């Protein structure tokens, strides 16, 4: 017995080893079969990472796994992925592995597909990316007999997969996600059955209309297969759209010119709860405990040919009478619900499909809301004809229905409007084709969002609809510190509401207080939970605005500025605000502003022209960082300022200029200005170095200067000022970082340069000397708080002193020359006779030899005395 068990054990071990080892022998053959099958049947690039064979997993059958299969299209969809499949598992009899091509097709009994992503596409030319099968010259029967494999399916499955169908010509997109499908049956017989189970999420979008939005679809169907005639008949079937059950029957048949179908369906019950079941569970929540009354019935038939020219005819009807519902956890009930809607097509032409909403009524509390309308030409240029008449308390929406709104709503909406338009008219702003009349009133409406700084509270809004335009008769609102009253016209309200168009219009706005930051929105690129609470988040001009605002505001708050009596025109478009001659009172003067503020990019920028008239210098240069950077020294002035400034640059998150980015130029004029030396380290330093000028008495009235600024540097064009009869030239530059490099040139009369100089002038006693002046230069460096002063005053005084000495010397020389002349004149008169002088002996003498030396000595004596005297004076002066 032990020996028998031992033999059995060894045998089993050998069998197991063979089952493990044999697949490695045949794995190469399997790869060849797959590659040959692919190459012989498809026009596409097919790749896979591995193929494995196992006799263990599906014993006694063989299992072949193809891993990471990818199919990539050739032209005209070159390099586009048709399919990506993680695993394909095929199960077949082991004997099928040993078949030769002459033995007939390989029969596959079972297959499974896991995690398939398939994209089917039809382009505008009608070409499809899934038509990749190679053409064959064989007749149908021959082709069937020559096929390398066939299916004799016992069961199959598709798990965790997704399918996308895109029809560019029809502008249709169909998504199937979370697809799980399984079936049992056989494809081998001419007439057979397939028992299937399907679950998926389905989205259908045609043009800009989404008919299904991630709706849950379930289908349990027994399908009769008539393979020779390509006809598939639905026998016992039940489908679920979300939680709405539908029973249907009919058939689908593939023809040469298209597909023919004839399907009828209806919901088996008539409880209104089944209507709530149509709504996606995300929005309707759990309806099991919802209290309902009334009926709901949906019936329909879709029949006809699907081809390039036609669609099936359809007659679908949805009816509910006097229904109601109440969620157990919500305080409000929705009553008096009446629905009568149909979807029809009687011609088979897609453009003739229409939706007729003859009745859509409901009531919450005492607020009755009624609507009706028709939607036609759904697949091309949809036309809408609608009527709305009712009252709706917006706060009751979430109290009666478990919808989760991003932003809480409140307020009363009253509407009575007729409207007729086509979508193309909205897209192209063809206002003459938009026919609307009626009125809408909104009261006590509150809108809050994390995208805006403060909730917007609209106490009253009154709109009148007219063909092509909506009149805003009244608009009263508050947000934060701001109040707002407006009226005007809106040219495309429907485009803004229905088609993501911008809100266009012209408005007249008045306000007592308007804080700019109350109406800015956070950057859409930011993802913070509370966007506007972070001061680093850049604010944006709302992108949906395309309007002109004529403003008259008593007080505007911008950053740390308070502007009074602000008037002007503001144009807003594409996140750019353009100011046209905006005037305001500021710093006890007036300011006119033109230019624009652009928030399109991550860093907002501005380009402005400012004209300031009679600004209070002290207040303006203390409050505005920009002015303080342009002219830091101005804070020592007291008086008025006129200035024209052209500048551009970037703005920070609080909409203040980033000084390092600012460039531009300015012209400034000081009026009735005096200086306060106590507030200026610069003037104190100059005053200490230059004793010929009293900076407290500096006259800056009517001072005019030009300056430019770029890359954080301000350059002052040289200008002149005057102190008494001293001319002063000033020029240079400083940085926004407060560093400076200025040159001051003084044309200083000699009389201001000290007592020694004045004594020399007195000795000379010449009016022309009083007119003498010399240049004195001062170089100012360092910073405005810690200036460094250097002057050439000492050398200038020395030069002046030498100049005065030279003048005095020349004057004395001139005086000596006159004395000599007088002396010589006296000598000449004393020897007026022509008699030759004689000596004591009576002998004639030569006067030219005897008188000349004595005259020279006299001149030397006189000049020597003068020069010695002058030398003494010079020494005493020095």
Q: For residue 645, which phi and psi values (nearest 5 degrees)? A: -125, 130
Segment 821-848 shows an average pLDDT of 45
Q: Which tens digits make up the pLDDT trace of 189-245?
A: 566 788 889 999 988 887 666 767 788 888 888 888 887 788 888 887 888 887 788
Q: Residue 1 corresponds to which tokens in the numbers above?
A: 């017995």
What 3-state DSSP class applies to 586? strand
d(CA 722, CA 693): 11
Provide DSSP, 282-312: HHH---TT-EEESB-EEEEEEEEEESSS---
pLDDT at residue 14 above 60?
no
Helix (H) or strand (E) holding 515: strand 503-515
Q: Which residues of 9-44 are buried (b: 16+ CB within 10 A; e: fewer)?
A: eeeeeeeeeebeebbeebbeebbebbeeebeebeeb
Residue 136's CB is within 10 A of a number of other CB atoms, namely 12
Contact call for residues 726 and 749 (beta carbons, < 8 A): yes
The whole-number pLDDT of residue 29 equals: 59
Q: Is the pLDDT at 814 greater than 90, yes or no?
A: no
What pLDDT sits at residue 188? 56
**Average pLDDT for 1-7:** 45
Q: Mean pLDDT, to the nearest integer, of 465-481?
A: 90
Phi and psi at residue 831, to the nearest 5°: -125, 55
- Distance linking the first and last C-alpha atoms of the chain: 144
The mean pLDDT value for 643-661 works out to 86
The pair of structure tokens assigned to 458 is 């609209």
3-state secondary structure of 684: helix
- Give the mean pLDDT of 297-302: 93
Query: How far, in Å, CA of 114 to CA of 305, rounded?
Result: 34
Choice between 225 and 782, residue whose per-residue pLDDT is larger: 782
Q: What is the spatial distance between Cα 96 and Cα 856, in angstroms, rounded to a whole number?
A: 151
Q: How confident is the model at residue 389 (pLDDT cuts 50, 70, 90)?
A: very high
DSSP state of 836: P
71's tokens: 């199919």
Q: How many angstroms separate the CA atoms of 340 and 324, rounded?
A: 15
State how beta strands 297-306 and 313-326 pair. antiparallel
pLDDT attached to residue 208: 64
pLDDT band for position 74 (cuts 50, 70, 90): confident
Banded pLDDT at 675 (limits 50, 70, 90): confident
Indicate the Cα dihedral angle 676, 679, 681, 683, nearest 10°.
Answer: 0
For the chain, the C-alpha Rg in angstroms (whole number) is: 51
- The two tokens of residue 794 are 């000492």
The β-bridge relationship of strands 589-598 and 576-586 is: antiparallel
**Of 466, 411, 475, 415, nearest in space to 439 by CA:** 415
The more confidently predicted of residues 53 and 512 is 512
3-state secondary structure of 488: strand
Least confident of 115-119, 143-147, 321-325: 143-147
**Alpha carbon 300 to chain centroid distance?**
47
In the 3-class helix/strand/coil scheme, how is 216-283 assigned residue by residue? EEEEEEEEEEEHHHCEEEEEEEEEEECCEEEEEEEEEEEECCEEEEEEEEECCCCECHHHHHHCCHHH
**Region of 115 on the Ramachandran plot (φ > 0 left; ψ -120 to 50 alpha; else beta):** left
The rounded distance, in Å, linking the Cα atoms of 497 and 120 is 33
pLDDT at 8: 43
The reported pLDDT for the residue numbered 58 is 59
CA-nearest of 207, 132, 120, 204 to 165 is 120
- What is the H or E stretch that residue 590 is in? strand 589-598
d(CA 635, CA 618): 5
CA 31 to chain centre: 54
Name the most confidently modeled range: 322-336, 515-529, 611-625, 738-752. Answer: 322-336
The C-alpha atoms of residue 589 and residue 816 are separated, in whole angstroms, by 68
Q: Is 186 helix (H, G, I), strand (E, B) or coil?
A: coil
295 close to 270: Cβ distance less than 8 angstroms? yes
Instruction: Quote the pLDDT of residue 15.
Output: 40
Is residue 99 very low, low, confident or very high in pLDDT (cuts 50, 70, 90)? low
Task: Quote the pLDDT of residue 184.
Answer: 83
Angle between helices 852-877 and 755-764 (to 10 degrees): 150
Contact, 144 vs 36, CB < 8 A? no
Dihedral angle over CA of 398, 404, 407, 412, nearest 10: -20
Decide which of 245 and 635 is more confident.
Answer: 245
Lowest mean pLDDT among 31-45, 178-192, 615-629, 676-690: 31-45
Residue 276 near residue 288, CB atoms below 8 Å: no
User: Alpha-carbon distance 138 to 145, whole Å?
Assistant: 10
697 vs 852, more confident: 697
Instruction: Report whether 650 contacts 657 (CB < 8 A).
Output: yes
Report how far apart, in Å, the C-alpha atoms of 443 and of each of 437, 462, 519, 811 are.
20, 9, 20, 99
Taking residues 495-511, report their average pLDDT: 86
| Beta-sheet pairing, 81-92 with 149-167 | unpaired
d(CA 93, CA 504) in angstroms, rounded, equals: 71
What distance in Å separates the CA atoms of residue 529 and residue 281, rounded to the nearest whole number?
26
Beta strand spans in 736-820 (E): 740-749, 773-782, 787-791
Contacts of 563 (CB under 8 A, 6+ apart): 555, 556, 557, 584, 585, 586, 591
Cis upstream peptide for 60 (omega within 30°): yes
Backbone angles phi, psi at 587, to 5 degrees: 55, 45
Alpha-carbon distances, residue 582 vs 531, 562, 608 (angstroms): 31, 15, 11
Kind and range of the H or E run holding 368: strand 367-376
d(Cα 536, Cα 539) in Å, to the nearest integer? 9
- Reported confidence tier of residue 652, pLDDT bands at 50, 70, 90: confident
The predicted pLDDT at position 477 comes to: 93
Residue 528 has pLDDT above 50, yes or no: no
Could you tell me which residues come within 8 angstroms of residue 32 by beta carbon, excluding any fewer than 6 positions away?
none
The residues with which 746 forms a beta bridge, in sequence order, are 728, 776
Alpha carbon of 242 to those of 220, 222, 403, 484, 656: distances in Å? 14, 21, 16, 46, 53
Mean confidence (pLDDT) of the chain: 79
Task: For 585-609, write each residue's pLDDT tens digit.
Answer: 988 899 999 999 999 988 899 999 9
213/303 Cα distance (integer angstroms): 24
State the pLDDT at residue 61. 73
Q: Which of residues 356 and 828 earns the better pLDDT score? A: 356
Tell me how far apart the alpha carbons of residues 368 and 820 are, in angstroms, rounded to a whole number.
Answer: 129
Task: Single out the residue of 28, 132, 119 nearest to residue 75, CA to CA.
Answer: 132
Mean pLDDT of 124-148: 64
Given a cut of 80, whether residue 645 has pLDDT beyond it is: yes
pTM value is 0.62
Vertex 688, ends 685 and 689: CA angle to 5°? 90
């Amino acid at each position: 017995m032990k020996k028998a068990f031992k033999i059995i054990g060894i045998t089993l071990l050998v069998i197991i080893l063979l089952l493990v080892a044999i697949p490695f022998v045949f794995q190469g053959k399997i790869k060849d079969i797959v590659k040959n099958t692919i190459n012989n049947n498809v026009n596409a690039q097919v790749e896979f990472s591995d193929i494995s064979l196992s006799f263990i997993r599906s014993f006694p059958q063989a299992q072949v796994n193809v891993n990471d299969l990818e199919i990539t299209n050739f032209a005209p969809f070159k390099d586009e992925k048709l399919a990506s499949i993680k695993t394909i598992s095929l199960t077949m009899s082991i004997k099928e592995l040993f078949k030769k091509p002459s033995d007939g097709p390989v029969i596959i009994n079972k297959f499974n597909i896991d995690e398939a992503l398939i994209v089917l596409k039809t382009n505008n030319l009608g070409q499809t990316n899934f038509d990749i099968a190679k053409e064959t010259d064989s007749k149908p029967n021959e082709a069937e007999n020559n096929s390398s494999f066939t299916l004799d399916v016992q069961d199959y499955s598709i798990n965790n997969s997704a399918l996308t169908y895109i029809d560019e010509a029809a502008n249709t997109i169909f998504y199937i996600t979370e697809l799980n499908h399984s079936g049992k049956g056989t494809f081998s017989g001419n007439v057979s059955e397939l028992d299937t189970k399907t679950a998926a999420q389905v989205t259908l979008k045609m043009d800009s209309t989404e008919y299904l939005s991630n709706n849950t679809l379930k289908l349990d169907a027994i399908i009769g297969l008539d393979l020779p005639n390509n006809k598939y008949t639905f026998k016992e079937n039940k489908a679920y759209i979300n939680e709405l059950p539908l029973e249907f029957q009919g058939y689908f048949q593939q023809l040469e010119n298209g597909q023919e179908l004839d399907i009828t369906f209806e919901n088996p019950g008539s409880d209104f709860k089944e209507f709530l079941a149509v709504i996606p569970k995300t929005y309707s929540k759990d309806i099991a405990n919802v209290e309902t009354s009334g009926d709901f019935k949906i019936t329909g038939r879709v029949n006809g040919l699907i081809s390039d020219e036609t669609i099936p005819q359809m007659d679908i009807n949805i009816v509910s009478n006097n229904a109601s519902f109440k969620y157990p956890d919500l305080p409000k009930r929705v009553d008096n619900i009446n629905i009568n809607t149909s979807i029809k097509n009687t011609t088979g032409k897609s453009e003739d499909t229409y939706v007729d909403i003859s009745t859509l009524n409901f009531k919450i509390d005492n607020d009755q809301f009624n609507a009706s309308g028709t939607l036609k030409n759904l697949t091309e240029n949809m036309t809408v004809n609608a009527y709305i008449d009712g009252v709706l308390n917006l706060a009751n929406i979430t109290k009666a229905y478990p919808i989760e709104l991003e932003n809480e709503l409140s307020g009363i909406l009253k509407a009575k409007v007729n409207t007729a338009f086509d979508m193309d008219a909205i897209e192209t702003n063809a206002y003459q084709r938009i026919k609307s009349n009626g009125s809408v009133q909104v009261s006590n409406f509150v809108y809050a969002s994390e995208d805006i700084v403060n909730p917007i509270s609209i106490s009253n809004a009154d709109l009148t609809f007219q063909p092509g335009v909506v009149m805003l008769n009244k608009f009263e609102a508050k947000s934060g510190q701001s109040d707002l009253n407006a009226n005007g016209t809106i040219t495309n309200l429907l485009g803004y509401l229905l088609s993501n168009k911008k809100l266009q219009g012209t408005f007249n706005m008045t306000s007592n207080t308007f804080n700019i930051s109350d109406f800015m929105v956070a950057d859409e690129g930011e993802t913070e939970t509370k966007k506007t609470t972070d001061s680093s988040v850049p604010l944006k001009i709302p992108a949906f605005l395309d309007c002109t605002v004529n403003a008259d505001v008593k007080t505007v708050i911008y950053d740390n500025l308070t502007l009074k009596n602000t008037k002007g025109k503001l144009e807003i478009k594409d996140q750019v605000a353009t100011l046209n001659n905006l005037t305001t009172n500021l710093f006890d003067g007036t300011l006119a502003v033109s230019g624009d503020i652009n928030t399109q990019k991550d860093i907002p920028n501005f380009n402005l022209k400012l004209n300031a008239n009679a600004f209070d210098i002290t207040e303006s240069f203390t409050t505005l960082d920009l002015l303080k950077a342009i002219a830091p020294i101005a804070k020592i002035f007291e008086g008025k300022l006129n200035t024209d400034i052209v500048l551009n640059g970037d703005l920070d998150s609080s909409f203040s200029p980033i000084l390092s980015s600012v460039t531009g130029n300015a012209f400034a004029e000081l009026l009735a200005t005096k200086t306060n030396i106590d507030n200026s380290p610069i003037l104190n330093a100059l005053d200490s170095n230059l004793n010929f000028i009293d900076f407290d008495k500096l006259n800056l009235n009517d001072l005019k200067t030009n300056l430019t600024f770029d890359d954080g540097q301000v350059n002052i064009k040289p200008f002149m000022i005057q102190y008494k009869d001293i001319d002063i030239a000033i020029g240079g530059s400083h940085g926004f970082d407060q560093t400076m490099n200025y040159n001051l040139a003084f044309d200083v009369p000699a009389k201001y340069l000290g007592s020694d100089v004045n004594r020399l002038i007195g000795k000379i006693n010449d009016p022309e000397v009083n007119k003498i002046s010399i240049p004195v230069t001062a170089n100012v460096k360092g910073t405005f708080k810690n200036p460094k002063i250097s002057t050439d005053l000492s050398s200038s005084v020395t030069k002046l002193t030498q100049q005065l000495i030279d003048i005095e010397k020349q004057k004395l020389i001139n005086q000596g020359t006159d004395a000599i002349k007088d002396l010589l004149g006296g000598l000449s008169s004393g020897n007026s006779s022509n008699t030759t002088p004689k000596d004591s002996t009576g002998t004639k003498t030569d006067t030219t030899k005897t008188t000349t030396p004595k005259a020279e000595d006299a001149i030397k004596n006189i000049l020597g005395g003068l020069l010695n005297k002058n030398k003494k004076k010079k020494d005493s002066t020095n």
